[in-house]
Amino acid sequence: MAAKKLNLKDKYKLLTRDLDWEFSYEDRKKAFPYEDFEGIKINDWSKWEDPFRLTMDAYWKYQAEKEKKLYAIFDASSQHNGHLNVSDPRYINAIKLFLTGISPLEYQAYQGFAHVGRQFGGVGARVACQMQSIDELRHVQTQVHAMSQYNKYFDGFHDWTHMHDRVWYLSVPKSFFDDARTSGPFEFLVAISFSFEYVLTNLVFVPFMSGAAHNGDMATVTFGFSAQSDEARHMTLGLEVIKFLLEQDEGNVAIVQKWIDKWFWRGCRLLSIVGMMMDYMLPNKVMSWKEAWEVYFEEAGGALFKDLARYGIRMPQYADIVEKEKEHVSHQAWWTFYTYGHAAGFHTWIPTDAELDWLSEKYPDTFDKYYRPRWELAKKLESEGKRIYNNALPQLCNTCQIPMLFTEMSEPGQIAYRVSEYKGDKYHFCSDGCQHIFEEEPEKYVQSWLPAHQIYMGNCGGPDVPDILRDYYHFNLGADNLDMKGSPDEQRWNEWKKQG
């Protein structure tokens, strides 16, 4: 007699819950030593539900199919000179930033989920974290494979893991994940599964990837959507984590809210880079950062927080500031990279006149007033042979590690300065949000590895900036950095197109 096919719910039960065991001769508390110290109370792990009821057999089957599709497209792209099909060689610089700034976070997520997947007492949570850990490893691998095609033709792709650990602006994403991974297991889940995956990663993997497609980058859009299909599962897990924690114990609500507030703010600061990639680095436009923010945070996140209100959870703190900042951050970030273009591992440029007009149209309340004049000045100085390159290092925020480039939303022409004193030293911040995070856990953030300060302590080689860029960061000076105009990337592109 043929075995009866199990339905999804029974299969899930057998292949997760029934894999667990009781501790008969070992102390359960010693087996899961990190479960208590954050103050979270779990009364019954069996209440954990995976809404997709994904089991390992189905996981391997569908992931294998995703990979086959993905690699077929990578092959097609490299066999047909996919690098020549992108809209404009400037676009490739967004991918350089992706490889050095975002792909290593996938690896950090892999390590983080492998760790917490060991630490939870509940088997449902362990299985879900294990699958997510494998997903994240897949993401970093597929991203590296996709971008290896570009490494053959463009500068700046050659030493991304090294750069991630050392380059000044890459300390922003690196420290974000370091912060999450050095938290307890429950904070890690709220930080990454919920605040980051559920609330924010759509902004990276949906509108930006749609933009990659619109700029002829077949390989990137394909890995992006393939990754995001896993993220859809992670997001759902993130939402379940929150609901589970909130239902387990009333005392968990205040702790979870605090973590949501912290990680929403940290995530928003991190996404400044993505905002800039959308508004300035995609030559063919899909939507502005502001529009993407409205669809994927204000609308989607708004619905989410309305749903969570029944548990006593409110919108993240400072969401009102962020709503105003959507008009500003992408412009402030790109201006910073433009004026520090000699110290970036990718090319920067002045937007074309048509692009400046697009920005005016998309940001009618802010662009012409605050940002277009900066580009007019840049154009003037460039035409006089004085392209702007700042020669001193910027002051950094002690929490997000971003240069102090953000302005007061009540007065957008004024840099926002915040300072706290702790044990006799001053600590500077870009915002109330970052200051608040420091003040909650100063002993953690006095340890921030701030690149500008490390350089001045002599910990990054030198003595001069070019020495640091070349020897400590592994930049190929004159090829990886400086303006797009006159770069080897641009010259090669023009040669290929002439031959074409």
Q: Which residues in 134-193 contact other proteins (CB under 8 A)?
A: 183-184, 187
Owner of token pair 């023009």: 494
What minimum distance in Å lies between the beta carbon of 389 and other proteins?
9
Q: Which amino acid is at 181?
A: R
Can you tell me the distance from the alpha carbon of 487 to that of 491, in angstroms, rounded to the nearest whole number?
Answer: 6
**Comparison of 353 and 495: residue with beta carbon closer to other proteins:** 353
Owner of token pair 């792709």: 157
Q: Which two tokens stand for residue 269?
A: 């600061």
> Residue from 79, 391, 410, 499 that binds other proteins (CB under 8 A)?
391
**Comparison of 149 and 336: residue with beta carbon closer to other proteins:** 336
Can you tell me the distance from the alpha carbon of 233 to that of 158, in angstroms, rounded to the nearest whole number?
Answer: 32
**Comparison of 14 and 232: residue with beta carbon closer to other proteins:** 232
CB 323 within 8 A of CB 298: yes
Site string for other proteins, 295-324 (x = CB under 8 A): ----xx-xxx-xx-xx--------------
Site for other proteins in 3-62 (CB under 8 A): 7-9, 33-34, 37-39, 51-54, 58, 62
**Comparison of 26 and 421: residue with beta carbon closer to other proteins:** 421
**Comparison of 66 and 158: residue with beta carbon closer to other proteins:** 66
For residue 202, give every residue at least 6 positions away whose Cβ sits within 8 Å of its Cβ, in sequence order, or none.
Answer: 228, 231, 235, 296, 300
Nearest to 338 by CA among 370, 381, 304, 300: 381
Taking CB atoms within 8 Å and a gap of at least 24, the contacts of 441-446 are 444/179, 444/182, 445/398, 445/399, 446/422
Furthest CA-CA distance within the chain? 86
Alpha carbon separation from 378 to 361, 372, 467 (Å, rounded): 20, 10, 27
What minimum distance in Å lies between the beta carbon of 206 and other proteins?
6
Q: What is the number of other CB atoms lying within 10 angstroms of the CB of residue 410?
A: 9
Q: What is the number of other CB atoms lying within 10 angstroms of the CB of residue 457?
A: 9
CB 347 within 8 A of CB 337: no
Site string for other proteins, 393-432 (x = CB under 8 A): xxxx------xxx-x-----xxx-x-x---x-xxxx----
What minimum distance in Å lies between the beta carbon of 368 and other proteins?
9
**Comparison of 373 and 486: residue with beta carbon closer to other proteins:** 373
Site for other proteins in 235-264 (CB under 8 A): 235-236, 239
CA 357-361-367 angle, to 5 degrees, is 80
Site for other proteins in 198-217 (CB under 8 A): 202, 205-206, 209-211, 213-214
**Comparison of 251 and 373: residue with beta carbon closer to other proteins:** 373
What minimum distance in Å lies between the beta carbon of 498 and other proteins?
28
Look at the alpha carbons of 155, 158, 159, 161 in this order and tell me if their dihedral is positive or negative. positive
> Residue from 56, 114, 137, 452 that binds other proteins (CB under 8 A)?
452
> Residue from 17, 115, 444, 474 that binds other proteins (CB under 8 A)?
444
Site for other proteins in 330-349 (CB under 8 A): 332, 335-336, 339-340
Site for other proteins in 269-298 (CB under 8 A): 286
Applying CB under 8 A, the span of 96-104, 171-179, 367-375, 464-472 interacting with other proteins comes to: 367-375
What minimum distance in Å lies between the beta carbon of 406 and other proteins?
9
Site for other proteins in 217-236 (CB under 8 A): 221, 225, 228-229, 231-233, 235-236
CB 41 within 8 A of CB 249: yes
What minimum distance in Å lies between the beta carbon of 442 and other proteins?
5
- Kindly determine how many residues on this chain lie close enough to bind other proteins according to the rule CB under 8 A: 99
Nearest to 241 by CA among 117, 114, 125: 125
